[in-house]
């Protein structure tokens, strides 16, 4: 988070009067520093949103025939979920909502890994994407998402 906040410092200069020699007061008015500050809650919500995108990447990689990525993503998502579960319901409401969504994303990735491990040799690679899209729709309907 500190590294992100360091990257969100911007300086502006007004070069409209290049030929004039401004006084120190005028120079201060022409130059400005703008900072955007990411709060801890914003950072956590961003990480939680990232997990949803990783889940989509995982399912798409299976459809492209990449079998290694889902297992790497699954391991990373488990670590993120473990970190979020320490916060649990003690954090802000938005974070606890994201925890539920993160759990769903992790379940989808783990189901993909399970299917690859157990059924991967039975299903041709070009049909894996269809299997996962149907399974994802079934999970979403059970959870009342779609």
| Dist. CA 137–CA 144, nearest whole Å | 10
Tokens found for residue 64:
């492209």
Q: For residue 7, how far is the Cα from the chain centroid? A: 19
- C-alpha span between 105 and 118 (Å, rounded): 20
* Positive/negative CA dihedral, 143, 81, 48, 120: negative
Residue 11, beta-bridge partner list? 33
**Contacts (Cβ under 8 Å, ≥6 apart) of 143:** 104
What is the spatial distance between Cα 128 and Cα 104, in angstroms, rounded to a whole number?
A: 20
53 in a labelled binding site: yes
Q: Which residue ranges are tagged as binding site for Mg(2+)?
A: 53
Q: Which residue ranges are tagged as binding site?
A: 53
């Amino acid at each position: 988070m500190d590294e992100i906040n360091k990257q969100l410092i911007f300086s502006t200069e007004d070069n409209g009067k290049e030929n004039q020699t401004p006084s120190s007061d005028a120079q201060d008015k022409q130059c400005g520093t703008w900072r955007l500050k990411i709060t801890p809650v914003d950072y956590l919500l961003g990480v939680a949103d990232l997990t949803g995108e990783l889940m989509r990447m995982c399912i798409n990689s299976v459809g492209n025939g990449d079998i290694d990525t889902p297992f790497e993503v699954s391991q990373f998502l488990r670590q993120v979920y473990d970190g979020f579960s320490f916060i649990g319901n003690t954090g802000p409401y938005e974070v606890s909502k994201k925890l539920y969504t993160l759990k769903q994303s992790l379940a989808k990735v783990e189901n993909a890994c399970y299917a690859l491990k157990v059924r991967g040799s039975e299903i041709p690679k070009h049909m894996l994407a269809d299997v996962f899209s149907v399974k994802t729709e079934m999970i979403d309907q059970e959870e009342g998402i779609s």
